């Protein structure tokens, strides 16, 4: 790409536990990130907050503090596991500069807010970060972001034939 050797780009990649997300990151590494560039990949994971349900009598919470602590622990472990996998993909491909961020909240809001806050040049995401049922209720993350983000958005779909998330078909 023109001027890739001198330009420092910030590319935000939304990562989660899905195979679509891993595929999008791999595709980005193979097709967008220049080998000797000064690109920085910012891997962003949106952690779901431990939801609090007010009890029916309004005096307390349905979840005990132990359960909430356990949910938070699970969320932190999941974030760590996703980030480790994502960093390994970056390392395996070529040694691109990587930053990681874990934020708490709805992925749609987190991605848009962080893209704005960090002033990134581009956002990369898989097309199906949610499962089918959750997506039906919450709507598509990529649709929302494509509409709301002010910077360019790359939506990468994982072909059904893709055997491995780390081996994007277009580069074979």
Residues contributing to the site for a second copy (CB under 8 A):
1-4, 7, 9, 27, 29-35, 93-94, 121-122, 127, 140, 142-143, 146-147, 149-157, 159, 170-171
For residue 82, the minimal CB distance to a second copy (Å) is 21
Q: Which residues pair with 123 in a beta bridge?
A: 12, 153
Using alpha carbons, list the distances in angstroms from residue 37 to 33, 93, 167: 7, 14, 22
Contacts of residue 133, Cβ cutoff 8 Å, sequence gap at least 6: none
- Pick the closer one to a second copy by CB: 73 or 117: 117
- Pick the closer one to a second copy by CB: 110 or 168: 168
Q: How many CA atoms lie within 13 A of 16 on its CB side?
A: 23
- Pick the closer one to a second copy by CB: 93 or 103: 93
For residue 9, the minimal CB distance to a second copy (Å) is 7
Give the Cα separation of 142 and 140 in Å (integer).
5
Q: Is 63 exposed, middle or buried (0-12, 13-18, 19+ CB in 10 A)?
A: middle
- Pick the closer one to a second copy by CB: 79 or 153: 153
For residue 17, the minimal CB distance to a second copy (Å) is 21
For residue 107, the minimal CB distance to a second copy (Å) is 16
């Amino acid at each position: 790409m023109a001027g890739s050797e001198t330009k420092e780009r910030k590319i935000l990649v939304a990562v989660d536990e899905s195979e679509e997300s891993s595929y999008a990151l791999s595709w980005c590494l193979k097709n967008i990130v220049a080998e000797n560039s000064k690109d920085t990949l910012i891997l962003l994971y949106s952690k779901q907050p431990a939801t609090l349900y007010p009890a029916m009598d309004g005096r307390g919470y349905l979840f005990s503090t132990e359960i909430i602590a356990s949910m938070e622990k699970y969320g932190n472990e999941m974030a760590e596991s996703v980030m480790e996998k994502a960093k390994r993909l970056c390392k395996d491909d070529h040694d691109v500069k990587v930053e990681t961020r874990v934020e708490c909240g709805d992925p749609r809001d987190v991605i848009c807010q962080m893209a704005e806050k960090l002033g990134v040049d581009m956002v990369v995401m898989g097309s199906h970060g949610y499962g089918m049922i959750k997506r039906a209720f919450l709507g598509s993350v990529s649709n929302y972001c494509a509409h709301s983000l002010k910077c360019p958005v790359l939506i990468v779909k994982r072909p059904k034939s893709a055997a491995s998330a780390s081996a994007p078909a277009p580069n074979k």
